[in-house]
Amino acid sequence: MHELNWGLPVIAYLFLAGVGAGAVTVSGSVLLRKGGFGASRFAVARCGALIGPLPVMLGTFLIVFELGQPFRALNLFKLINLSPMSIGSWLLGVFIVLSLLYALTYLPPSAGPGDRLSPIRRGLAWVCVPFGIGVALYTGVMLGAMPARPFWNSPILAALFVLSALSSGVACIILLGVFFRRKSSDPTIRADYENSSYMLVTSDAMLLGGELLVVFLFLMFGHLTIGDVRYAMAAILPGGQLAGMFWGLVVLIGLLIPFFIELFQVVPKLIYGREFRTVVALEVAVPIAILIGGFALRYVIVIAGQITAPSAL
Amino acid sequence: MNDKNNKGTSRRGFVQKLVGGVAVASAAVTTSVLSSPETASESVKGKTKSYGMLIDTRKCIGCHTCSVACKAEFDVPLGVTRSWVEYTEKGVYPNVSRHFLPRLCNHCRHPQCVDVCPTGATYKRKQDGIVVVDSGLCIGCKYCVQACPYDARFLNPVTGVADKCDFCIHRVSKGLVPSCVNSCIGGARIFGDISDPTSEISRMLATNPTTVLRPGKGTEPNVYYIGADHSDEHENNRGWYDVRVITHRTPEERR
């Protein structure tokens, strides 16, 4: 067995940072956008903003303690260089602060659309969105930067991580909505909730579709090339060590099933203008499947990169 | 100890120190007075070295003396190695062979480990091209361990920071050769300044067919081999013969 220098703490970090950065990015985008979400815009943005910083901080805690000497991590902030990890550390540090401030603006009991904090909240949303994308993106660049790891050495990995982060972020917001926003007897709030669910599920279906496309390109690239990458890609192709997990958990449970369920949910309204109805069971099951898929994706990629190597000495 | 003391290197080193001490205050005029014109001009230009190693695998008997000398020199903890010897066995009886491949950090011209280091702890020394780790800056993130195509790096289990071969910088800076070169009983290792056309290694490189490991990775290694067998276990699905690589390390597989 090959040595796994980056194990579960790193995998968990990649997943948690992706979920958190995705949730904050989606929250910021929803808050800033006009129309679509209508009156529920603030409530949706609030869900993402309040949950986002927690997984990011938990993940950061995990990698800092994975070092063995946590205080050494401060050395990262003595300089900035072109290493993806250096840029990523700064992005992550700034993002944690910004996303916490952004979350704080939602905490006062008086918080609502157009309140006193509104300009600050919008300003923070404007910076949280690019930093959130940066945090989700750098992890893929970090893995992709090394020719010594042919499985990772692909520019499309970063795109895959960003799409996965955003869709996990949306999944997180949908899941929170079920628990905190669904219960309401007021018909206007119910209608708003249904509308925001439709918007979220549509965006999530689009993100999952994009992710499927990127996974397809990733595999095709591996299949059509020869040499190192092809040998490496064999780890997730049928017969490979991680094939079961990749095709079962990542592709089937994490991408295909949620994608088609969401498609069947939104197509009637999207194309035929029929009414969109939320189903509690699906609202809980689909996001959980997406989150499982997101974790499995990081797991498969991080492990596959380390058990494969360049093919010729 | 049977150290091969490289006289040229040590004299130049001495002159450089001398010059360095004086040149703090003044420049070329002073130095040309204090030392011979030839060495002075070299020093003034700040001539940099580029250390490299040439391993003649035809002379290697796979005895691991280099590995042991390295372990002793640095007190390298159990389970990790800065320098090691791989055995490549291939063929099907009766057509079989075994080759030895001594391995160490390649001190590449384009070291990937340096590119990815987030703290600048790993850098390539300008004066001699040796790739070193500043253990005070290293945070032990293992990014460099991932990025090295030669698996030459590891996390030192005692210090918790990245570690690797440094061409015995403490010996080389005093004009000695690295410990593995000094101890090699077959005389398979030649160490020297590749940028100096008169050095033994430069002459050997110019007059022999040599190879480097994983040239396709674009790292441009400074460790060269004569007669190295580049066979790898990946070839097993390719031909009639079997290849088995014994790394004598943990993990046992070559990566």
Q: Are residues B196 and B240 in the same domain?
A: yes
Would you say residue A118 lies in a domain?
yes
Contact A75 B141 (CB under 8 A): no
Angle between helices A118-144 and A280-307 (to 10 degrees): 40
Angle at A12 (CA atoms; ends B144, B142), nearest 5 degrees: 10
Instruction: Report helix, strand or coil for B96.
Output: strand
Confidence class for position A228, pLDDT limits 50, 70, 90: confident
Average pLDDT value for residue range A33-51: 85
Q: Are residues B35 and B104 in the same domain?
A: no
Does residue B43 register a pLDDT over 70? no
Confidence class for position B39, pLDDT limits 50, 70, 90: very low
Out of A2, A78, A83, the one facing B255 most closely (by C-beta) is A2
Whether the CB of B217 is below 8 Å from some CB of chain A: the reply is: yes
Mean pLDDT of chain A: 91
Mean pLDDT of chain B: 85
Distances (CA, A) of A81 to A64, A70, A213: 19, 21, 33
Shortest CA gap B177–chain A (Å): 27
In the block, residue with structure tokens 């945070």: B139
Contact B117 A83 (CB under 8 A): yes
Residues in chain A whose Cβ is within 8 Å of chain B: 1-3, 5-6, 67-69, 72-73, 75-76, 78-79, 81-86, 88-89, 142, 145-149, 231, 305-306, 309-313
Residue B175, by phi and psi: left (phi above 0), alpha (psi -120 to 50) or beta?
left
Angle at B231 (CA atoms; ends B224, B253), nearest 5 degrees: 95
- Report ipTM for this prediction: 0.91
Would you say residue A3 lies in a domain?
no
Instruction: List the domain range (segments joined by +) for residue B12.
Output: 7-45
pLDDT tens digits, one per residue of B75-101: 999 999 999 999 999 988 899 999 999
Would you say residue A187 lies in a domain?
yes
Average pLDDT value for residue range B148-175: 94
Query: Across-strand partners of B91?
Result: B96
Would you say residue A228 lies in a domain?
yes
Contact B234 A311 (CB under 8 A): yes
How many structural domains are present in chain A?
Answer: 1
Q: Are residues B37 and B66 in the same domain?
A: no
Would you say residue B31 lies in a domain?
yes
Would you say residue A211 lies in a domain?
yes
Residue A47 CA to chain centroid, in angstroms?
15
Query: Across-strand partners of B246?
Result: B87
Confidence class for position B38, pLDDT limits 50, 70, 90: very low
Would you say residue A63 lies in a domain?
yes
Chain A residues touching residue B213 (CB < 8 angstroms): 313
Average pLDDT value for residue range A148-163: 94
Contact B232 A81 (CB under 8 A): no
Contact A148 B217 (CB under 8 A): yes
Whether the CB of B213 is below 8 Å from some CB of chain A: the reply is: yes
Whether the CB of B46 is below 8 Å from some CB of chain A: the reply is: no
Would you say residue B152 lies in a domain?
no
Average pLDDT value for residue range A215-232: 89
How many structural domains are present in chain B?
Answer: 2
Q: Are residues B213 and B169 in the same domain?
A: yes
Find the closest chain A residue to B231 by CA distance: A313
Would you say residue A35 lies in a domain?
yes
Does residue A22 register a pLDDT over 70? yes
pLDDT tens digits, one per residue of A106-140: 998 888 888 888 899 999 999 999 999 999 999 99
Shortest CA gap A74–chain B (Å): 8
Q: Are residues B35 and B63 in the same domain?
A: no
Confidence class for position A255, pLDDT limits 50, 70, 90: very high
- pLDDT at position B190, please? 97
Would you say residue B102 lies in a domain?
yes
Which CATH number characterizes residue A248's domain?
1.20.1630.10
The two tokens of residue A66 are 């994975």
Burial class (CB in 10 A: 0-12, 13-18, 19+), B1: exposed
Would you say residue B175 lies in a domain?
yes
Chain B residues touching residue A89 (CB < 8 angstroms): 118
Would you say residue B131 lies in a domain?
no
Q: Are residues B188 and B209 in the same domain?
A: yes
Q: What percent of chain B has pLDDT over 70?
A: 81
The two tokens of residue A238 are 């049928």
Which CATH number characterizes residue B55's domain?
3.30.70.20
Would you say residue A88 lies in a domain?
yes
Q: Name the least confident of A18-32, B47-61, B238-252.
A: B238-252
- pLDDT at position B17, please? 53
Handedness of CA A200, A201, A206, A210 (dihedral sign): positive
Residue A277, by phi and psi: left (phi above 0), alpha (psi -120 to 50) or beta?
beta
Separation of alpha carbons A237 and A246, rounded Å: 8
Would you say residue B219 lies in a domain?
yes
Instruction: List the domain range (segments joined by +) for residue A82.
Output: 8-307
Separation of alpha carbons A299 and A9, rounded Å: 10
Would you say residue B139 lies in a domain?
no
